[in-house]
Amino acid sequence: MSKSTRPDQMLRPAGEERDYLLQRAEVHRQIAENTAEGEARMIHDRLSRLYEEQAALVAMVLTD
């Protein structure tokens, strides 16, 4: 297992993983909206987009 892999990630079904990633995206979107500091806002916006992109990839696997 690599250092970047969460132990629970290997046990989570793909549909649940997608939901988890979308929840994380929403949390970072909200943090970005509520952050006054521009650099922190950019980081959280980027994290939100990355989580959304990862969720889309999981969805592609589900339909494959």
Q: Has residue 31 been placed in a domain? A: yes
Q: Has residue 18 been placed in a domain? A: yes
Q: Has residue 20 been placed in a domain? A: yes
The parent domain of residue 54 ranges over 12-63
Unique residue bearing structure tokens 């995206």: 25
Q: Has residue 4 been placed in a domain? A: no
Q: Has residue 1 been placed in a domain? A: no
The tens digit of pLDDT for each residue in 31-61 reads 999 999 999 999 999 999 999 999 999 877 7
Mean of pLDDT values over 4-23: 78
Q: Has residue 7 been placed in a domain? A: no
Q: Has residue 42 been placed in a domain? A: yes
- Retrieve residue 16's tokens: 């649940």
Instruction: Measure the CA–CA gap between 16 and 1, rounded to whole angstroms.
Output: 20
Looking at the structure of the chain, the number of domains it has is: 1
Predicted TM-score (pTM) of this structure: 0.76
Q: Has residue 6 been placed in a domain? A: no
- Retrieve residue 4's tokens: 């970047």
